[in-house]
Amino acid sequence: MNMTKALIKRELMSYFATPVAYVFIVIFLILMGTFTFYLGGFYERGQADLSGFFNYHPWLYLFLVPAISMRLWAEERKSGSIELLMTLPITPWQCVLGKYLAAWAFTVLALVLTFPIWITVNYLGDPDNGAILAAYFGSALMAGGFLAIGSCLSAVTRNQVIAFVITIVVCFGFLLAGFPLVLDMFSGWAPQAVVDGIASLSFLSHFASIKKGVIDFRDLVYFSLLIGAFLYANTIVLTWKKAD
């Protein structure tokens, strides 16, 4: 556990050792403000809530989170530092968990820094702060799901650009899983249980219920299983690469 904590600290420090972290946070905050107050029609709707703010989170994560996850293992493999990392008295699972939690903490930090938007809504009206807090929690869980997918795919290749593109494609598939356009492709020939199973894989459907202020146990299980499955696959890939 101490080695995992040390790895988390090392990874977090590496983010802020270069301007990349600051650039990412600034871009994230600018885009969040722009989407909320301009493209989201905050003033036109005349409602004191952050529904427009949270509606854009999945689509921002689709591009920004892979930009974080692509370097987790691809950079280690390209530089050769993964061999040194694997010689340390730490298991592959601890390596995966440490790097993942550091990336997740960095992403959550960027999310927390959007609090001025929350303050602005409270200044202008009387929003349901419980629902907003639940939506923040759901957004953090969704970001964790994106990161778990990206971390696993980053371990597959040495090329960060390839890891970035593949992660976007896979995450986009998880976003579209609940759309009628996708479900109609299966409803004509697949059993209803299969169609329902595909629909249940959608990030959007699970996030939609949480951002309304309803934290359903099934949504928590979904994100937990998704994150756990991809981190486990990440560990298998690393173990395979190590043996190779």
Task: State mean pLDDT over 175-202.
Answer: 73
Length in residues, the chain: 244
Q: Is 200 helix (H, G, I), strand (E, B) or coil?
A: coil
pLDDT of 88 reads 67
- Give residue 114's pLDDT: 92
Q: Is the pLDDT of residue 128 over 90?
A: no
- Looking at 7-16, 45-54, 84-93, 232-241, which range is the least confident one? 84-93
pLDDT for 168 beyond 80: yes
On the question of pLDDT at 137 being above 70, the answer is yes
Residue 153 burial (10 A CB sphere; 0-12, 13-18, 19+): buried
Mean of pLDDT values over 150-167: 89
- Band the pLDDT of 134: cuts 50, 70, 90: very high
Q: Where are the alpha helices (DSSP H) in the chain?
A: 2-16, 20-34, 42-45, 51-55, 57-79, 81-87, 92-112, 115-124, 129-154, 160-176, 180-187, 192-199, 203-211, 217-243
Question: What are 216's two structure tokens?
Answer: 């359903």
Distances in Å between the Cα of 190 and the Cα atoms of 65, 149, 173, 178, 198 are: 33, 26, 18, 15, 11
Q: Compute CA distances 32 → 14, 55, 112, whole Å.
A: 25, 10, 12
Q: Which residues lie closer than 8 Å to 55 by C-beta, 6 or more apart?
A: 40
Q: How far apart are CA 92 and CA 90, in angstroms?
A: 7
- Note the pLDDT tens digit of each residue in 83-117: 666 666 678 888 889 889 999 999 999 999 999 88
User: φ, ψ for residue 239 (rounded to 5)?
Assistant: -65, -40
Choice between 174 and 86, residue whose per-residue pLDDT is larger: 174
For the chain, give the mean pLDDT.
83
Decide: 100 and 71 in contact? Cβ < 8 Å.
no
> Would you call 157 helix, strand, or coil by DSSP?
coil
Cα angle for residues 209, 201, 98 (degrees, 5° grid): 90
What distance in Å separates the CA atoms of residue 104 and residue 143, rounded to the nearest whole number? 7
Kindly tell me if the per-residue pLDDT of 42 is higher than 90: no
- Split at pLDDT 50, 70, 90, the class of 226 is very high
Least confident range of 107-121, 172-186, 211-225? 172-186
Angle between helices 57-79 and 160-176 (to 10 degrees): 150
Do residues 211 and 138 touch, judged by C-beta distance below 8 A? Answer: yes
